[in-house]
Structure 1
Amino acid sequence: MRNLIHLWDINGVKINLSKYGLIGRRLIVPSPSYTTTEESVEGRPGSIVLGKQLNPRPLTAIFIVEASDYADVLLLRDELFNLFRDKFYVGEVDQPGKRWLVECEAQWELDRININTSSIEVPLTARKGLSESVETSLTPFEWDANMWQWGMGIPYDDYSYEHTTNKFKIYNAGTEIVDPRYMELKITIKGSATEYVELINLTTGETYRYNGVLQAGDTLVIDKLRSTKNSLSVFRDTNKKLITLAPGPNDFEIIGASVERISFDFRFYYV
């Protein structure tokens, strides 16, 4: 029987399903749902939509559980209780490039098929309501490595995520804005600056500024909400602004510094 589900622990390490007697049969992924904020205006028909928020996504992972005998079924059941107690990642074997961060909050039970075989339907919640790429932008786009797939928006053009110039493009292949407040985004800058460094996303109009000197060998890192220089926090020396990545190409410019190398390490996110 062919397995159709991948599992990874919270650190991204793939889980050996055979250890738990599991064979993934189906991952049910429903369409997204939204909560809208509306306002009615007197004298105007209908309502005005002020905002639209993506809701958490309920997924269901269906497995066959194979054991050597009934006593083994009970042992595996208890191991599965522990396996599904914490957050983990789930994905489909036939979509090897995407995964979902999920947790199991509702009860489930073994449905006995025969003395050695049972089935389970594990209810899962993807809080973000989004899937994400298994690999990051700094992973080579090698199709034969089974890390990427069709339908991920991977560019055919010669986009790079490491640059040595002050003007460049960064391509976000996902359908969603990459927001470092709740998504992975690590920007590493090596170069020299006498007074300040400004990183400007011309596509979104956002500017990050570090008010400090960079010397040869210094490394400025913007990792989600943190800013460090040579591993020491310099957040207070910044303008306390964030850089996001719009879907598609983002045009960037760096001023105030001579760039030796800049890299963008992030995942792509999909509705």
Structure 2
Amino acid sequence: MIEFEFLDGTKTNTDEFGLTVKEFEVEPLTLRHRFEQIEMLEGNIPMGSTHEQRRIMMSARLFLDDPNEFPLYRDWIQGVFARLQPCYITDPRQPFKRWLVIPEGTPEYEHRNYGRVVYVTLNWVTYGLPYAEAITTTLTPYEWGQGYFWGAGLEWGENQYSFSNTNRFIINNFGNVELDPRKHKEFRIVYKGASDGLTITNLTNQEVFVYNGVSGVDDEIVLDRIFTTKNGLNIVRDTNRRVITLAAGANEFILAGTSSPFEISFEFRPLFY
């Protein structure tokens, strides 16, 4: 059974359409490299590499009591899987992650057994980043039995993403993709409390964010993607205009300019190849 969630919050799955899934295949990542060449210079000059859009294919079977039922099922399938808006797909074999996709091409139908069995093929392409993302954020309560991160390789109580009155800690990006707030749509760091020259340093990749102002015990400083606010007001001009990214795996942080009591939290969705 493959599950679908649309941006308006509605959910459905292949069982509701009578589809028995035979195959659900995510295309491997395709790397694209760019090089420049200069005459009389050996080799080439690397200009960067990236991952291209990925395709997802699902094949399923539809069993009908009466072949005349097919138009009804066909219209149901078209009504859901031919939308122009993206949706999230989750494979229950890996329930901790989902893919943001949009339909591609035309649904294919192959009729067998005098029309009582229909083989259905549907295709999607990734919408935006070519990676899967965690179905919940790092601040979602990790409750036993919810299955949020089953299969992700995490141990119970292993990770922490909010801290009080602690200037040194580890943030685990348990995905295998670097998280860059300039590209990733969900990445928030929230600092609540007093500070003077708040400095957040990721020792793992040597990235530093600095707020050149002060905050009171009831103030809230938010780094939300490329935006920085204090109590909802833009304070980018009072910062060093840098962002904090997360390497895959453990990221060691150190804070400076803090004054107890304070809290800091990191909320994001890890990405997976």
Shorter-normalised TM range: 0.7 to 0.9
One-letter amino acid matched to 1:212: G
Residue 269 (structure 2) aligns with: 267
The code of the aligned residue for 2:262 comes to: E
The residue number in structure 2 matching 1:252 is: 253
In 1, Cα distance between equivalents of 2:66 and 2:219: 61
Deviations 1:3-45 (A, max 9, x none): 2x22222356542444433333321112111111123455565
Matched-pair contact (CA < 8 Å) for 1:189–1:262: yes
Determine if contact 1:203/1:246 at 8 Å carries over to the other structure: yes
Name the aligned partner's letter for residue 131 of structure 2.
L
Q: 1:146 Cα shift?
A: 1.5
Aligned partners of 1:30 and 1:109: how far apart in 2? 19
Contact 1:101 1:131 in 2 (8 A): yes
How well do the aligned residues superpose, as a CA RMSD in angstroms? 2.6
* Distance 1:250-1:34 versus aligned 2 partners, 3 A rule: same
User: Does the CA contact (< 8 Å) of 1:100 and 1:130 recur in 2?
Assistant: yes
Partner of 1:94: 93
Q: Which residue is equivalent to 1:218? A: 219
Distance in 2 separating the partners of 1:155 and 1:185:
23
Task: With the length of structure 1 as denominator, give the TM-score of the two structures.
Answer: 0.85
Report the alpha carbon displacement of residue 254 of structure 1 after superposing the two structures with TM: 1.9
CA separation of 1:197 and 1:42: change in aligned 2, threshold 3 A:
same
Quote the residue 1:83 is aligned against.
80
CA contact 1:155–1:173 (8 Å) conserved in 2: no
| Mapping for residues 1-271 of structure 1, pairs under 5 Å | 3=1, 5-10=2-7, 14-40=11-37, 42=39, 46-65=43-62, 69=66, 72-84=69-81, 85=83, 86-113=85-112, 115=115, 117-127=117-127, 128-142=129-143, 144-150=145-151, 152-154=152-154, 158-164=158-164, 165-183=166-184, 184-193=186-195, 195-258=196-259, 260-271=262-273
- Identity, % of aligned pairs? 32
Is 1:143–1:149's contact at 8 Å kept on the other side of the alignment? no
Aligned to 2:22, the other structure's residue is in SS state strand
SS of residue in 1 equivalent to 2:264: strand
Alignment coverage as a number of residue pairs: 266
**1:170 offset after TM fit, Å?**
0.5
- Distance in 2 between residues matched to 1:227 and 1:68, nearest whole Å: 59
**Between 120-129 and 169-178, the greater mean CA deviation after superposition:** 120-129
Contact preservation (8 Å) 1:137, 1:267:
yes
1:198-239 Cα offsets, whole Å, 9 max, x none, are 222121222222333322222222222232323333334333
In structure 1, stretches of 5+ residues that fail to align are none
Give, in angstroms, the shift of residue 140 of structure 1.
4.0
Cα distance change on mapping 1:210 and 1:76 into 2, 3 Å:
farther
- Pick which of 234-243 and 49-58 moved more: 234-243
The answer to which structure has the higher strand fraction is 2
Q: Secondary structure at the residue paired with 2:33?
A: strand
TM-score under structure 2 length normalisation: 0.85
2:22 maps to amino acid: R
